Each structure stands twice: as C-alpha cells, then as structure tokens.
C-alpha cells in the first residue's frame, strides 16, 4: 500500500512533490503558529492571533509567489506593510507597546516583561535559526521606510563589529540612565510617555538612517548600527534557509543580483564560488532572486549546486 506521502493529490501531483514545493511556506506557517501557541501559554490568546495571522499571511503570499514569481517583491512589501503596520501602528501607537531595543532595559528596571523582550527572543534569537534576518525584510517598519528612502549612492562603508557593539552598549547605558535619572517609560502609568518615546525613537532611526545612508551607503543604519541586527547576525551562520545558488552553471556573472542587493552584498561572488550567501547582513529580501533572469538563486535549505 502506498504511504500518504506518495499518494497522488487531486491534481495528480504527488503529495511528496507538493510538500517539497511548498516547504518554505509550510515551515514559515508552522514556526509562527508554534511561536503563537508558546506565547499564548505564557501571556494571552492575542499573541496567538498575532503570530498565527503573520504565519497565515506568509503562507498565502509565499504560495502565490511560488506560482507566480513576478509577485515576489510586491508580496514581500505587502507582508512588510501588514506586519510592520500592525506592530507599529496597532500595537505601538494604539496599545503603547514599544518594540525598540532600549525598552527591554526600561522594562528590566521596572521589573516587567513586554513585547520588546518577546520580539527580541522570537525575531532575533529563534527565527534566525531558520530564516536568518528575515524579520528585517518582512516585518520591520523602519526597514520598510528605508526601502523607500535609502538609495544606493556608490558609497560602501564596511561594517565594523566593534562599532555595532559600541552602539549597542551605548543604547543600554542611555536606557539605564533615562530610567534611573528621569521617568522610566515602562509601566501602565507611563503609557503616554512611552508613546512619545516610540515616536521619537522611530523618527531618530529613520532620520539618522537617512543621513547615514547618504554618508556611508545603502541601508547604513541596518548594516552598521542596528542593535537587533548586531544580535541576530551572530546566529546567521546557523540559519537553515539562506540565499542559495541552485543552478550555478546558468550564471553569466552579469552582476544583476549584486546590483540589486540593498545590503551591498556581493551575491555574484557567492554564485561564482557555488556557495550560499554567507554574509550575516543578508535580510532575505530576495531582491537578488528577483533580479536574476536565469533563475540561478533561491531561498533554500539545500546545498549550493
């Protein structure tokens, strides 16, 4: 008797082939649903609704892209707007949940746990083992604004790990100083102050990021300073899904993939070496995949070919 895995589907396509074809959307949905269940157990059902909603959005849009690759970038931007919009506008501006880095330390001083720590653990310490820095290209609201405002300008100031860590330590020190010497924006009683902080912090990141990009090249804040990137890029090497050359022989070394990369990664070089994109700044935006007319690149867990 045939196992279920090889039984034909209604369309005649073997179920194993179907599972393989949709492995990324299914894995994405499963991960977000699992995270939702865990956070529901720890906090409340609204978190399950949030994560299951993100997982469903990813599932549907990724299936659409597999069947029509031209939708890849429009669908990614749609996800970015939906997820980033929910996190910033609904949870941030309406409910006063601050997801920015320093809030973790405000909360620490106030003895509470909020979305800031949950976001750090999920988006920066769990998801990176599967999808690297994908949060940056599919959920970060500041990243969505950078996509519109940050342009390549021929500059490419290289990342210096010491600079990124120095900025992270400075942020921690500022957060402790603010909470200690001024009013701590944590806690229900300080919701208005926290909302003002959310607005100010995001304006600082978007405005500062724009200036930095003019001086140091595309997505400079993300590449050089963002504390979330500093943490998640440590785990990038363990990520299961990475940008992978799947038909290196088809490559003409035209360079369109490298030219499309907002993080200034030399994708063409990875293809030449028949290896995955190993640069820990990759945000899995798949612009390189979309730019390649010879279908050389794919997000995959398999070896480069």
The verdict on 231 binding ligand SF4 (CB under 6 A) reads no
Please report whether residue 257 would count as binding ligand SF4 according to CB under 6 A: yes
Q: Which is nearer to ligand SF4, 79 or 263 (CB)?
A: 263
Asked if residue 136 binds ligand SF4 (CB under 6 A), the reply is: yes
Q: Does 284 bind ligand SF4 (CB under 6 A)?
A: yes
Selected from 185, 220, 286, 304, the binder of ligand SF4 by CB under 6 A is 286
Helix residue ranges, H only, 150-190: 161-181
84 binds ligand SF4 (CB under 6 A): no
Site string for ligand SF4, 15-44 (x = CB under 6 A): ------------------------------
Question: Tokens representing 189?
Answer: 């009683």
With binding defined as CB under 6 A, does residue 83 bind ligand SF4?
no
Nearest to 288 by CA among 246, 239, 249, 255: 255
Instruction: Tell me which residue has its CB nearest to ligand SF4.
Output: 143
Closest residue by Cα to residue 150 from 197, 207, 65: 207
Q: Which is nearer to ligand SF4, 48 or 146 (CB)?
A: 146
177: left (phi over 0), alpha (psi -120 to 50) or beta: alpha
Q: Does 268 bind ligand SF4 (CB under 6 A)?
A: yes
Piece in contact with ligand SF4 (CB under 6 A), picked from 24-32, 44-52, 105-113, 265-273: 265-273
- Which of 39, 216, 277, 304 binds ligand SF4 (CB under 6 A)? It is 277
What's CA 62's distance to the chain center, in Å? 15
Largest CA distance in the chain: 72
What is the crossing angle of helices 101-110 and 191-216, to 10°? Answer: 150
Under the binding rule (CB under 6 A), the answer on residue 263 touching ligand SF4 is yes
Which residue is listed with tokens 């599919």?
Answer: 138
Extended strands (E) in the chain: 242-245, 297-300
Residue 186 touches ligand SF4, criterion: CB under 6 A: no
Exposure of 152 in the CB half-sphere (CA atoms within 13 A): 10
Q: Which is nearer to ligand SF4, 32 or 228 (CB)?
A: 228
Best CA proximity match to 24, nearest among 302, 300, 305, 303: 300
Q: How far is the CB of 46 from ligand SF4 (least distance, A)?
A: 23
Binding of residue 243 to ligand SF4 (CB under 6 A)? yes
The Cβ of residue 227 has, within 10 Å, a number of other Cβ atoms equal to: 21
Instruction: Identify which of residues 6 and 204 has a Cβ nearer to ligand SF4 in the complex.
Output: 204
Interface with ligand SF4: number of residues (CB under 6 A): 37
Q: Is residue 198 a contact point for ligand SF4 (CB under 6 A)?
A: no
CA-nearest of 145, 164, 140, 173 to 227 is 164
Task: State the DSSP H helix or E strand holding residue 304, giving kind and residue range, or none if neither.
Answer: none
The CA–CA distances, whole Å, from 188 to 40, 90, 142, 192 equal: 21, 17, 25, 9
Per rule CB under 6 A, is residue 59 in the interface with ligand SF4? no
> Residue 27 or residue 282: which is nearer to ligand SF4 going by CB?
282
**Spatial separation of the C-alpha atoms in residues 46 and 52, rounded to whole Å:** 10
Residues that bind ligand SF4 (CB under 6 A): 136, 140, 142-143, 221-222, 226, 228-229, 243, 251-257, 260-261, 263, 265, 267-268, 271, 277, 282-288, 291-292, 294, 296-297
């Amino acid at each position: 008797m045939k196992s279920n895995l090889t039984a034909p589907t209604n369309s005649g396509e073997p179920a194993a082939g179907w599972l393989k074809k949709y492995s990324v959307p299914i894995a994405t949905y499963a991960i977000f649903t699992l995270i939702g269940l865990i956070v529901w157990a720890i906090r409340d059902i609204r978190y399950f609704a949030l994560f299951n909603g993100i997982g469903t959005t990813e599932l549907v849009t990724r299936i659409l892209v597999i069947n029509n690759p031209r939708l890849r970038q429009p669908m990614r931007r749609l996800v970015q707007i939906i997820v980033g919009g929910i996190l910033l506008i609904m949870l941030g501006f309406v409910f006063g949940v601050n997801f920015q880095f320093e809030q973790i330390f405000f909360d620490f001083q106030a003895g509470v746990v909020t979305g800031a720590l949950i976001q750090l653990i999920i988006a920066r310490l769990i998801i990176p083992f599967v999808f690297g820095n994908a949060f940056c290209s599919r959920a970060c609201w500041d990243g969505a604004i950078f996509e519109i405002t940050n342009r390549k300008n021929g500059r490419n100031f290289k990342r210096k790990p010491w600079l990124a860590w120095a900025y992270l330590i400075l942020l921690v020190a500022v957060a402790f100083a603010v909470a200690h010497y001024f009013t701590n924006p944590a806690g229900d009683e300080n919701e208005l102050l926290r909302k003002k902080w959310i607005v100010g912090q995001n304006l600082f990141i978007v405005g500062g990021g724009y200036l930095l990009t003019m001086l140091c090249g595309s997505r400079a804040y993300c590449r050089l300073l963002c504390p979330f990137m500093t943490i998640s890029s440590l785990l990038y090497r363990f990520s299961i899904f990475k940008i992978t050359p799947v038909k290196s022989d088809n490559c003409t070394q035209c360079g369109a993939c490298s030219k499309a990369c907002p993080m200034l990664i030399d994708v063409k070089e990875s293809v030449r070496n028949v290896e995955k994109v190993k640069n820990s700044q990759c945000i899995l935006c798949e612009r390189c995949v979309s730019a390649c007319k010879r279908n050389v690149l794919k997000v995959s867990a398999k070896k480069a070919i």
